[in-house]
Amino acid sequence: MNVEQNALLTQTGPGTPMGDVFRRYWLPALLASELPEPDCAPLRVTLLSERMIAFRDSEGKLGLMDEFCAHRGVSLWFGRNEESGLRCPYHGWKYDTTGQCVDVPSEPVESGYCKKIKLKSYPLVELGGILWTYMGPPELQPALPMFEWATVPDAQRHISKRIQECNYLQSMEGGLDSFHSTFLHRMSVGDDPLLKRDAVSAALLKADPHPVFVPLESPGGLYIATRRNAEPASYYWRVTQWIMPCFNLFPPYEGNPFGAHAWVPIDDEHVTTFSIDYHPDRALHDAEITAMEAGKGIHSLLTPGSFLPVANKRNDYLIDRQAQRERKTFCGVMGIAEQDAAVQESMGAIEDRSKENLVGTDNGIIMTRQRLLRAVKAVQAGNAPPGVDAATQRVRAFAAVMPRDADLATAPEMQVGSAGTKQVGHQS
């Protein structure tokens, strides 16, 4: 990649080419639990470098609009959520969930002045424990998301979020780079109850320590697959799904929940990482939920009152050099999510990809970037980018032993609701 391509991929603010791509999708904006009830406190939300305010009105309707009052620019975070609207505390201007001004106390009602005032707003919809927004052209708004994790019953899903202090792309690329687990997460995965490998999968992994990385284009993004030799005349596949523009799905071990991420740009130097564990067939066990809430697996322990992890760049991620020397952890940082954040944020706010030296195990990363660049061209040409169609989201990450002549791209294991979803090491 050259400097210009790197800038193109990493800039998502208003009017940028990649920003236009992101604005064609429904994106996670908040956890539903952050706006728990009617007339609760409003929240500041920054998405794709746009500063907004979110609130739930007296009837429970959701609103997402420009943060600042149209009168004198006061932040509506200080506003009073009352009687089906958000009222600015400075001079009392009031807005409904569409951003429409419904009251200007200093002006006569008969003047109709307030009808002329409307803040920029976006739809906000609750689905699967997430509040989703669409920030693109209204006439191009797609159907609501259909990811499996967003459609299972609440008891079968756990979602957390954390703030990472770097560009979305380097966080997302970390999630799509399966080879890094061989080093960064060595000595950590085996001790984690949510990521521990079962005996069958462990034997298959050990039998062929040199996997072949086989990224393939999918209708919604990529199948990022690793292939190992298995007998007789079979391959052991582990397939991570990447779905445009910022979602991935990865398979479990030993009946553990399936995993997913969404990396949503706050601005060009910060990203919200939504981490999802779900099971398609059963409720999550109490022990699993306890582990998730304790920051195990892909989740993090958070600083009270915020979504910033306890281990962060201000305290060097609580690195323990003694534990590193004693081989209790390969990198000295404890926790899978914390390890990822440490290396991703160490690259700087925006990695300079023009200085990279890529190798064969980076093929999935290379194809991800190419897919994103082509999506920019598609949108600029007036076409829809991949993954907008909700049907392309009805896929599943999987691990399976398959005949060597099997066509991975048509494997039923990858389709939600098919008869062929049984995983190696996964007990339904």
Q: Say which range, 57-61, 203-207, 316-320, 341-345, has the weakest mean pLDDT.
A: 203-207
pLDDT beyond 80 at 196: no
Please answer whether residues 337 and 309 qualify as being in contact, where contact means their C-beta atoms are separated by less than 8 angstroms.
yes
Helix (H/G/I), strand (E/B), else coil: 34: helix
Measured CA to CA, the distance from residue 44 to residue 53 in angstroms comes to: 5
- Mean pLDDT value of segment 340-366: 90
Look at residue 154 and tell me whether its pLDDT is greater than 80. yes
pLDDT value of residue 330 = 80
Most confident of 76-90, 341-355, 359-373, 400-414: 76-90
b vs e for 254-266, b when ≥16 Cβ sit within 10 Å of the residue's Cβ?
A: bebbbbbbbbbbb
Determine whether 7 is exposed, middle or buried from the number of CB atoms within 10 Å of its CB (0-12, 13-18, 19+): middle
d(CA 333, CA 301) in angstroms, rounded, equals 13
Residue-wise pLDDT for 172-190, tens only, equals 998 888 666 666 666 566 6
Mean pLDDT for 193-213 is: 81
Fold for domain 26-140?
A: Rieske Iron-sulfur Protein (2.102.10)
User: Which tokens hold the place of 219?
Assistant: 């209708």
Name the token pair of 159.
């979602």
Percentage of residues in the chain with pLDDT exceeding 70? 94
Dihedral angle of Cα 250, 252, 253, 254, to the nearest 10 degrees: -170
Q: Which helix (H) or strand (E) holds 266?
A: strand 258-267
Provide the pLDDT for residue 147: 96
Output the average pLDDT for the chain: 91
CB 245 within 8 A of CB 12: no
Under CATH, domain 148-414 is a member of which superfamily? Naphthalene 1,2-dioxygenase Alpha Subunit; Chain A, domain 1 (3.90.380.10)
What kind and span of H or E run contains 272? strand 270-278
Q: What's the whole-number mean pLDDT along residues 184-198?
A: 69
Q: Measure Cα distances from 121 to 129, 137, 262 in Å.
A: 21, 12, 23
**DSSP-derived secondary structure letter, 6:** H
pLDDT score at 184: 67
The whole-number pLDDT of residue 420 equals 40
Would you state the structure tokens that stand for residue 217, as one six-digit string? 């284009």
Condensed to tens digits (0 to 9), the pLDDT of residues 216-252 reads 999 999 998 888 999 888 999 989 999 999 999 998 8
* C-alpha distances in Å from residue 281, one per residue of 119, 373, 416: 43, 37, 11
What would the 3-class secondary structure string for 72-117 be?
CCCEHHHCEEECCEEECCCCCCEECCCCEEEECCCCCHHHCHHHHC
CB 162 within 8 A of CB 181: no
User: Residue with structure tokens 């919604």?
Assistant: 220
The pLDDT value recorded for residue 363 is: 87
> Quick one: pLDDT band at residue 360, thresholds 50, 70, 90?
confident
Q: What is the pLDDT of residues 39-51, one digit of tens each?
A: 999 999 999 999 9
Distance CA 268, CA 167 (A): 5
Per-residue pLDDT at 385 exceeds 90: yes
For residues 183-204, average pLDDT = 73
Is the confidence at residue 424, as pLDDT, over 60? no
Q: Where in the chain is the domain with CATH 3.90.380.10?
A: 148-414
What is the separation of C-alpha 337 from the centre of its chain, rounded to a whole number of angstroms? Answer: 13
Give the pLDDT mean for 245-267: 93
Q: How many CB atoms neighbour CB 197 within 10 A?
A: 18
What confidence score (pLDDT) does residue 26 get? 98
Q: How far is CA 25 from CA 145, 146, 224, in A?
A: 9, 12, 21
Q: What is the pLDDT of residue 186?
A: 62
Where does the pLDDT of residue 276 fall: very low under 50, low under 70, confident under 90, or very high at 90 and above?
A: very high
Distances (CA, A) of 292 to 159, 161, 278, 336, 355: 9, 12, 11, 12, 37
- Give 194 or 243, the one with higher predicted confidence: 243
| The residue to which tokens 């609760």 are assigned | 40
Confidence of residue 167 (pLDDT cuts 50, 70, 90): very high
Per-residue pLDDT for 414 more than 90?
Answer: no
The Cα–Cα gap between 417 and 313 comes to 42
pLDDT-derived band at 425 (thresholds 50, 70, 90) equals very low
Q: Which residues of 333-356 are buried (b: 16+ CB within 10 A; e: fewer)?
A: bbbbbbbbbbbbbeeeebbebeee
Q: What is the pLDDT of residues 12-24, one digit of tens each?
A: 999 999 999 999 9
- Sequence-ordered strand ranges (E) for 123-252: 124-127, 130-134, 157-164, 212-217, 221-230, 234-243, 247-250
356 against 22, higher pLDDT: 22
Using the predicted structure, report yes or no on whether residue 144 has a pLDDT greater than 80.
yes
Model confidence at 421, in pLDDT bands (50, 70, 90)? very low
Residues of the chain with CATH 2.102.10.10: 26-140
Cα pseudo-dihedral 423, 367, 270, 258, rounded to 10: 0
Q: Evaluate whether 44 touches 79 at the Cβ level (below 8 Å).
A: no
Burial of 130 (0-12, 13-18, 19+ CB in 10 A): buried
pTM for the complete prediction? 0.92
**Which of 53-67, 211-225, 335-349 tops mean pLDDT?**
53-67
Q: Which is nearest to 25 in space by CA: 57, 48, 44?
A: 48
d(CA 123, CA 111): 29
Residue 99 is predicted with a pLDDT of 98
pLDDT higher for 81 or 209? Answer: 81
At which residue do the structure tokens 């393939």 appear? 216
Residue 339's pLDDT is 86
**Residue 418 pLDDT level (bands cut at 50, 70, 90):** low
Between 37-51, 326-340, 359-373, the lowest mean confidence (pLDDT) is in 326-340
